[in-house]
Amino acid sequence: MSSLNGFFSQNITIVHPEFFFITGLSNIPYSSYYYIFLFIVYFKTVLGNSVVLLVIALERGLHSPKYIGVFNLALADIGVTTAVIPNMMKTFFSDSQYISYNACLANMFFVNLFIAVQSFTLVVMAYDRFIAISFALRYHALVNNNVMTLVLLVLWAFNTFVVSLPVSLISRLSFCKSNVIESYYCAYGPVYRLACNVNSINMFMTNFSAVLFFVAPLFIIFLSYMGIFVALSKITTWEARLKALKTCVSHLLLVGIFFLPVISIFIATSITSLTPNAKVMSASLSFALPPMLNPIIYVLNTAEIRVLIRKLLNRRSAAIGKSISK
């Protein structure tokens, strides 16, 4: 508490740089090919998730709590990759790795917001599966479209407030030494560590955000599936158990591809000291690949979406065939 009081009471001149310099990958031959690879991933992410959004929006049969959650996750997937990859392409292909102070804070806010929404949406989807299996007879009374929509709106509002708090605290920091950010975007940790005044509250917010957006959601999802397994154990036949568990496969895969990269990076940094380039590549891949894989999981594990996409493709091919025949 004394360090917090000292932070707010210190009488210093706050110095904000006009620009920050983002290092990205340094001293790596042909690093531009890696950025091109990320842009291809981004293109596939936007295309795949846009198809999912379109199918769910147009098909009334998919207007259910489960698919409202899928819609929200696809929206967040497009958001986080759009907040990271196009800016990164612009920075490193224009030979200008500088970003203005305000643009840096905006970039930091939107990246963190969409990551938080991704994490909490997976929690909401776990709750949906828990109610559907544990309280199947009361599912439509406990979870409906209005409830799911309200929960997701509250989720967006809550995450917007929580994310804006640490970002606003950056403005209380003075940058009088270096303005070089060792990352590929305006990441919160590398930025606040550049401050030359007390940054203990920023360090606390970093740890708090890690617990709130990663540890707590993963723990809640774990508890949800413990409840699901308890409910499954009360089902008498194996066929009914497998049928109920099959409805959770997509969600479990989504959870795995979102949290496993984060856990792997944490373990790797705990065991050994990663080079700046290794940190950039591992972190950028953990941001880029899950949103690209999510639509594939939706399609492969959701019969309704597969059927609808097949119908759309058949209609499109039929329309092309008619135009050619004319």
Side chain identity, residue 97: Q
pLDDT of residue 6: 47
Could you list the mean pLDDT of each consecutive 10-residue stretch along the chain, which spans 326 residues?
Answer: 46 80 82 87 94 86 89 95 88 79 94 96 95 90 93 96 94 87 89 87 91 94 94 86 86 92 85 82 89 85 70 66 61
For the chain, what percentages of helix, strand and coil (3-state, to nearest 5) are there?
80, 5, 20
- Whole-model pTM: value is 0.88
Question: Domain residues of the chain, as ranges?
Answer: 18-325
- Domain 18-325 classification at class level: mainly alpha
pLDDT of residue 270: 79
Edge-to-edge strand ranges of the sheet holding 180-181: 98-100, 19-22, 180-181
pLDDT of residue 322: 61
pLDDT of residue 326: 59
Residues 6+ apart with CB under 8 A from 311: none
CA-CA-CA-CA torsion sign (129, 131, 136, 141): negative
Residue 1 burial by Cβ neighbours in a 10 Å radius (0-12, 13-18, 19+): exposed
